[in-house]
Amino acid sequence: MTVIDPLANLATLIRCPSVTPSEGGALSALEAMLKPLGFAVERVTAAEDGTPDIENLYARLGTDGPHLMFAGHTDVVPVGDEAAWTHGPFSADIADGEMYGRGAVDMKGGIACFAAAVARHIEKNGKPQGSISFLITGDEEGPAINGTVKLLEWAAAKGERWDACLVGEPTNPDKLGDMIKIGRRGSLSGTVTVHGVQGHAAYPHLADSPVRGILSLTQALMDPPFDAGTDDFQPSNLEVTTIDVANTAVNVIPAKASARFNIRFNDTWSVDSLKAEIIARLDRAGADSVLRPGRPPVKYDIVWSERPSHVFLTRNNALIASLSGAVEAVTGREPTLSTTGGTSDARFIKDYCPVVEFGLVGQTMHMVDERVAVADLETLTQIYETFISRWFGHAAD
């Protein structure tokens, strides 16, 4: 296997049908790439009741510091309608300068390029003056319970410590060099339920419609805005994503109505302060609303999601400067430092070391005909190789 070639690496990984939670041979393929480079590779299976067992991989080259971690995932989302694909989703076919396959950009491509970059660095410079590790999960596209969280806990318990981490998620909107993620907004979800009295729609005086109440409460959640944003983050934004009454009859006033919401929040808030603000809004709206004239104020129940994501911002200048400088040196473009988008496994890694994210262009991720430009694989490998040299140079200062 020619680990120095990112195209060959990616073809090997795409041909492994590692639809979450299946390992699909992808971790074994990565292990075969890393061992000849001198990495000590360990496979860790994590389990928890009610969730599928997940195979993960941890590999380390070197025993001393400074220690750079590359993190990512080999699991991919389902292919959807396979007949709609122009090329087989696990074929790694190349057409018109692009390689097709599920995971091409999200994110087997990033893994393939970083492995090639490490191989090139070793070929030119010998082993790094420190350590490089791969922390690769098979659960990023799934519930994210038996993947990065438990692999980090396992590694830390055996004495692993890291000075910085690069996550290879596809961060670039249009072209390589567009964007580095230096943080992520937090994410909090919940379900609000208003209870009424079921009855016949023709006899409303004998019933209480919870729909009236849930509309008032959801409006209070969305307006006014939570904040105006900060220097590093967009304004916090709450979206009501469902309103449900579980009602199959048009002439029946339902007994209850529930609304689910999700808010992506900036560093104006913590999870606790945000919960307090949401409850205050609901309390005010409930006190000011009734299900029907002359009836008591609206009462509600709220259930929070079990695993909110906390907002974070990386301020490690050596890490950010090394990556930004590498991107600009290879592409001639100065990347935007961003905190936009959804969550990633960086939200777990930030508790162990400074973390940034940079990978391929993400326009086709999770789509039919997911694909990556062959030229981008070579460019990203050069960026990663330059970054490795620059980071170890900064870390040694």
Is 1 a domain residue?
A: no
123, 227: one domain: no
Catalytic machinery residues = 75, 140
| Whole-number CA gyration radius for the chain | 24
| pLDDT tens column, 193-215 | 999 989 999 998 888 889 989 99
Residue at a domain's end among 248, 278, 304: 304
Cβ contacts of 330 within 8 Å, gap of 6 or more: 177, 379, 382, 383, 386
Give the residue from 23, 224, 268 showing the smallest Cα distance to 137.
23
CATH number at residue 215: 3.30.70.360
CATH number at residue 61: 3.40.630.10
Residues forming a β-bridge with 302: 192
Count of the separate structural domains present in the chain = 2
Residue at a domain's end among 281, 304, 327: 304
DSSP annotation of 99: E
* 247 or 104, which is more confident: 104
255, 349: one domain: no
Distances in Å between the Cα of 306 and the Cα atoms of 146, 150, 303 are 15, 17, 9
Would you tell me how many other CB atoms lie within 10 Å of the CB of residue 342?
A: 10
* DSSP string across 163-224: SEEEE----BSSSTTSEEE-EE-EEEEEEEEEE-B-EETT-GGG-B-HHHHHHHHHHHHHSS
pLDDT (average), residues 44-48: 95
* 219 or 289, which is more confident: 219
Q: In terms of DSSP bridges, do strands 312-313 and 131-137 run parallel, antiparallel, or are they unpaired?
A: unpaired
268, 333: one domain: no
Q: Which of 153-157, 252-256, 371-375, 376-380 has the lowest mean pLDDT?
A: 252-256
| pLDDT tens column, 285-315 | 998 887 777 788 889 999 999 889 999 999 9
Query: What is the pLDDT at residue 1?
Result: 45
180, 241: one domain: no
Answer yes or no: is pLDDT of 80 > 90: yes
Q: At what angle do helices 6-14 and 374-396 cross, to 10 degrees?
A: 110
Q: Which of 130-139, 249-258, 285-294 has the lowest mean pLDDT?
A: 285-294
Residue at a domain's end among 276, 304, 332: 304
Q: Which of 195-209, 344-358, 360-374 has the lowest mean pLDDT?
A: 195-209
Mean pLDDT across the chain:
95
* 98 or 307, which is more confident: 98
Give the residue from 19, 157, 31, 130 showing the smallest Cα distance to 80.
19
Query: What is the pLDDT at residue 296?
Result: 82
As a dihedral over the C-alpha atoms of residue 259, residue 264, residue 265, residue 270, rounded to 10 degrees, the angle is 70
Is 348 a domain residue?
A: yes
Q: Which of 58-62, 100-104, 293-297, 345-349 has the lowest mean pLDDT?
A: 293-297
Terminal-to-terminal C-alpha distance of the chain: 35
User: Residues, the chain, total?
Assistant: 397
